[in-house]
Amino acid sequence: EEQAQQLEGQRDDLERVNAAVELKARELEQASQYKSDFLANMSHELRTPLNSSLILAKLLADNPNDNLTAEQVKFAQTIQSSGNDLLNLINDILDLSKIEAGHVEVVPEEMRVERLANTLRNLFQPIAQEKSLEFAIEIDPDAPAFIVTDPKRIEQVLKNLLSNAFKFTEKGKVSLAIRPLGDGQVTFSVSDTGIGIAEEHQRSVFEAFQQADGTISRKFGGTGLGLSISRELVRLLAGTIHLQSQQGAGSTFSVTLPEEYDPMRVLSRRAPES
């Protein structure tokens, strides 16, 4: 009898603890949702006035009536480029908060790998030319011709990685290699012969607002959000992203995706990557 009562008491205690934990979890989830919603709304509200300022700054910078001095045109150009930096930052914050709030939907479709390669070639060849860098896209003959994924998202990720590769490389080569990994997976590797990332920064570059080196990033600009966004998008595509780099020698970012997107394989946020 006494033992039964004791057990009963323990069960009540456990239930109370359980209820408290559940309540706390719900509160935390809600707080996180408020934060993401706030960021999304705020970013949206900031964009509208900024866009009109940018249009006007462009009008001034173009100086169609030739009635501004050279110095005034320069000021207008500075307003334009600072405004564009701010717009990029706002867009990145908006992107990341949308992902965090679970507002980014994956729309899988059959995508021709060659087509993605062509889009990226057209986008980045001019940048390669401008910086006198070699740019190669290598598609392994055994790579699948089609994969099922969200083409817009994988394109966004690879654009991010290639932009970084060109940004941090002054001589040599940037390449994109597309290879089958077996096991129904395909890898997109973006390699460069640029400044590389020191071992101790290799983890943190994927965190929001982190840049490998303050002095370098000031020189190169950027928001420090591109890789966090890329990592989150890759996760949503049920893939993984890895970095191999050697300071002074270059970096390779590899994105591995399933050949066929499967929503069941999307890991939740912050889960350790395999």
Complex with ligand ADP: residue 124 or 168, whichever CB lies closer: 168
- Cβ contact 95:229 at 8 Å: yes
Report if residue 165 touches ligand ADP, rule: CB under 6 A: yes
Q: Which residues pair with 161 in a beta bridge?
A: none
**Least distance from C-beta 256 to ligand ADP, angstroms?**
18
Complex with ligand ADP: residue 75 or 206, whichever CB lies closer: 206
- Cβ contact 241:252 at 8 Å: no
Longest pairwise C-alpha distance within the chain: 98
Complex with ligand ADP: residue 61 or 174, whichever CB lies closer: 174
The contact pattern for ligand ADP, residues 194-233, with x = CB under 6 A and - = no contact, is xxxx-------x-----xxx--xx----xxxxxxx-----
Residues 125-164, interacting with ligand ADP (CB under 6 A):
164
Structure tokens belonging to residue 110:
């059959």
Residue nearest to ligand ADP as judged by C-beta position? 222
- Cβ contact 87:51 at 8 Å: yes
Give the helix ranges, DSSP H, for the chain.
2-62, 70-100, 113-130, 151-167, 214-220, 226-236
Kindly determine how many residues on this chain lie close enough to bind ligand ADP according to the rule CB under 6 A.
22
Report if residue 96 touches ligand ADP, rule: CB under 6 A: no
- How far CA 71 is from CA of 56, 63, 75, 77, 81, in Å, comes to 17, 12, 6, 10, 15
Piece of the chain touching ligand ADP by CB under 6 A; list 49-57, 135-143, 147-155, 190-198: 190-198
**Least distance from C-beta 251 to ligand ADP, angstroms?**
4
Determine if residue 257 is left, alpha or beta; phi over 0 gives left, psi from -120 to 50 gives alpha, anything else beta.
Answer: beta
- How far CA 259 is from CA of 18, 112, 116, 154, 255, in Å, comes to 41, 11, 14, 12, 12
Report if residue 251 touches ligand ADP, rule: CB under 6 A: yes
Report if residue 192 touches ligand ADP, rule: CB under 6 A: yes
Q: Interface with ligand ADP by CB under 6 A: which residues?
A: 164-165, 168, 192, 194-197, 205, 211-213, 216-217, 222-228, 251
